[in-house]
Amino acid sequence: MLCIVVEKYGPPDQLQLQILPTPTVAPDQVLVKVKYAGVNFVDIYERSGVYSTPLPLIPGKEGVGEIVAMGSGVKAFHIGQRVGFPYMEQGAYGEYITLSADGLVSLPESISVDILAALKVRRFLNLTI
């Protein structure tokens, strides 16, 4: 999969495009194909070393996408479902991200995913449509 990786703390030129293996899911996880990733101050702080996040890292803690694989223990979601992941695991700057099903938010079909991505992702938890 294509992803943005930070191997050394520093300015934006430390963001490198790399090809890494697509992650696999554990029993309680889903694999999400990322459609849109949030770009936030925390990503800048981690990339620059203000927050000493272990390197190498794939930045990005929130976004929206579609479930493409699930672990055997996941029952509340289904393949093809649109989900938001508000401030969860590192890795939204990749084509795919593995996430615990516990923190995912189901997204309504009545709103396009690009509009949902533009909303502050943590607000998904309060979204009722």
Domain residue spans of the chain: 2-126
Tell me whether residue 80 is exposed, middle or buried, using C-beta atoms within 10 angstroms of its C-beta: 0 to 12, 13 to 18, 19 or more: exposed
Segment 40-65, tens digit of pLDDT:
888 999 999 999 899 999 999 889 99
Mean pLDDT, rounded, for 113-127: 61
Q: Would you place residue 71 in the very low, low, confident or very high pLDDT band (cuts 50, 70, 90)?
A: very high
Give the rounded percent of residues in the chain with a pLDDT score beyond 70.
Answer: 90
CATH number of 2-126: 3.90.180.10
Nearest to 111 by CA among 51, 38, 36: 36
pTM (2 d.p.):
0.87
